[in-house]
Structure 1
Amino acid sequence: MRKKTELLSRRAFVSAVGAAALAAPSVLSAQATEGVVRNVGSFRPHQWQDHFEKIGKGIILSDTNARFLQHWTADGEMRLYPTSVPLSEDLTRRGYTEVIDKKVAPGWGPTPAMRIRNPEWPAYIPGGDPLNPLGSHALYLSWQYYRIHGTQDTRKIGRRSSNGCIGLYNAQIAEVFGRTPIGTQVKLI
């Protein structure tokens, strides 16, 4: 008898949850009409004015928690891109920097800290090599060793997977690269 009672209460619970789920859209639309907006994800676009005094040559704002990058051109056009971000907090740098150089098919060499963590890694991989982690294009920041770059491994986008850099799909970094002059302001949050 006890098993039958537990089974009935589970069925009652599942039934109640199902009814609530069916009613949820009407509850959400009622909230929207009252001026309350609910966001179930962590994605929240930023306003450049909350971080910079002027747009200047352009702005790149990378949200390392939500894993997306916003890019504003000098004329105020804004685009969003999904990113990969550093593996851990100790590899994550936040704050203000700027684009100081740009390279197509950049070569890559691991930093001294990477060589200690991964002594089996090669000392250098030339640009264009399928094993090169910088992908097709790279924006070099004023912070030594930090880049916004493409990636050959598209599984990394949307994940904590880098050694400090911000990664984009190769097609998207090519777009950002073409729209970003040297001197573009950058902030990682």
Structure 2
Amino acid sequence: MTERTPRAPRTSPAARPAWAVVRVLRDRNAGLYLSGVVVSGFGSSAMWLVAGVWVKDLTGSDGLAALCVFALWAPTLIGPALGTLADRTRRRPLLVWTNLGLAALLLPLLAVDSPGTLWILFTVLLVYGAAGVVHDAAEAALVATAVDTRLLGDFNGLRMTANEGMKLLAPLAGAGLYAAYGGARVAL
């Protein structure tokens, strides 16, 4: 007679994702990090849309409104050069200081109230985009060391889901906030 090895209990495909979420959220580092991703992703995504609406509102120009997206994404063209900063610096302090710098960077947007002050908005978007490239490079490296390797696949899937989910929800909320309070308040 051969001895049978016990099999793992079968779970339905629908139950597996729920179990992955629970496992990731039970891990302190992964849960905290995922919470930060949701909050940060919401704010960033709301501001991206509002920047273009704000410029269109102040100038009536579709071209200048589109320039907001260009200013935000142009730094990715030098992404490899910016990414070396993340490779040559301690990642945790780099992420902390980058996030604090990004928060402070939004404060000058309180002065944007006319077409003559739009240069402030475009400068903030350009620097925000460059800092985002550095942040993403440092984040990718730090996550691999901060999250348990057994959870890394599930965590990365949840992180991407949270990021993309915020891109769906936040612009609508940002537009509503802009309509009610204006661009400076959305930046805050």
Per the normalisation by structure 2, the TM-score is: 0.26
- Greater relative CO, 1 or 2 (CA 8 Å, sep 6+): 2
- Higher strand proportion: 1
Structure having the higher Rg? 1
- Higher helix proportion: 2
Per the normalisation by structure 1, the TM-score is: 0.26
